Amino acid sequence: MHLVAAYDISAPRRLTKVARIMKDYGERIQYSIFEMEISPDRFTQLVKRVSAVLDPDVDGVKYFEICERCLASAIRLGRHAALGSDEPWTIL
């Protein structure tokens, strides 16, 4: 499944931990937003790891599953135009 994860973590130490966890599963596309292609089992693992770090009273994480149709119609400009692509590209 394809996901976008966005988070807002109030403490720098927890913020760093969550970012490191997210890097294990996906690609950072903005400072607190990651995009990932992930199996349901790995997603469960991700949620458990992140939940163990969060303070639910002040932190927040949202996961958005993107269907294939929506993913195909996504408009991407600039950096990270294609998930996993390290190739440079140009918009004409």
Domain boundaries, the chain: 2-72
Quick check: 87 pLDDT over 80? Answer: no
Instruction: Note the CATH architecture for domain 2-72.
Output: 2-Layer Sandwich (3.30)
Three-state secondary structure of the chain? CEEEEEEECCCHHHHHHHHHHHHCCCEEEECCEEEEECCHHHHHHHHHHHHHHCCCCCCEEEEEEECHHHHHCCCCCCCCCCCCCCCCCCCC
Structure confidence by residue, pLDDT tens digits, 38-69: 999 999 999 999 999 999 999 999 999 998 88
Report, as an integer, the average pLDDT of 1-13: 96
**The pLDDT of residue 90:** 44
Percent above pLDDT 70 for the chain:
85
